Amino acid sequence: MNILSGFHSIIAYINTGSNDNIAVIYYDEKRKDKRLQTLLQLAKEHDLTTESVNSDFLDKTSDNSNHQVVIVKLKTQIARQTYTLEEIINGTINNPNTVLLILDGITDPHNLGAIIRTAHCFDVAAIILPKDNSANVDSTTVAKTSSGAMHRIPIITVTNITRTIEKLKDNEFWIAGTTLTKNSISLFEFKPQGKIAWVVGSEGKGIRRLVQENCDFLITIPINNNTQSLNVSVATGIILSHTRFTQNQSDSFEFTQNVQNN
């Protein structure tokens, strides 16, 4: 990916100090709003090249993505650092409150980008994606929606989520899946303790049956009966916020219930 678009992702990239890789910042010649002026001032402070262009040029260069009237052309393609599951596990050995996030079937790039941004906000140690049945994490849309977070949090791709869960269990991780079943318990009755990997599924299908069966806990978020479901990125934010809050309250919380009776 050698194009960045959108204010948040561009500002985040500039603030990483990677400005030597920025060739030029293109912006809509007709826009004069404060948001754009703030970005142009930031570019001036960092001695970055800017160029005003027409909207057709922006649309074509950004492949008609929602560029928000500004894009950055990079000198070299951004490459995410790659990790293995073993590296992630080894890197969390000394952190008893490690939180991982497993995404099962998140195919919408906007949702994936928003989830990555949320996960970074709540200090998730890593995000795990399946090789198939997932949005392309390296797409322009994911990069823009994540506001640069995709380059600041480890993201790994695995061929089999079930085997990944088994590996995590072998390394002292509890597995909690978000789904509504007769065995599910309320998130707000659930007191995370120790290392935990949350499994989040798509809004339509949720997490797959085999994945559910391998979870230690099945958790649901209580919502108003008139609301059918939460957006998956919003639900993920609620889950991660609750997890961090309860972990910070006490180191001696006990799980309220093992719904799978493992």
Say what the pLDDT of residue 124 is.
94
Residue 255's pLDDT is: 33
Q: Can you name the CATH fold of 3-74?
A: 60s Ribosomal Protein L30; Chain: A; (3.30.1330)
Per-domain boundaries in the chain: 3-74, 85-249
pTM: 0.72
Q: Strands 3-5 and 50-53, how do they pair?
A: unpaired
Please report where in the chains the tokens 């391998």 appear, as a residue: 214
| The predicted structure's pLDDT at residue 260 | 42
Q: Chain-centre distance of CA 169, in angstroms?
A: 22
**Fold classified for 85-249:** Alpha/beta knot (3.40.1280)
- Averaged pLDDT in 10-residue chunks for the chain of 262 residues: 76 79 91 88 94 89 72 79 88 90 94 94 93 87 80 90 96 93 89 92 84 94 75 94 80 35 38
Note the pLDDT of residue 35.
Answer: 86
Per-residue confidence (pLDDT) for residue 64, from 0 to 100: 55
Q: Same fold for the domain at 3-74 and the one at 85-249? A: no
Rounded Cα gap, residues 235 and 51, in angstroms: 40
- Six-digit token string for 100: 């991982």
d(CA 234, CA 252): 28
Cβ-based neighbour number of residue 56 at 10 Å: 8
Quick one: which of 113, 127, 128, 104 has its CA closest to 202?
Answer: 104
Give the CA angle between residues 226, 241, 228 to the nearest 5°.
15
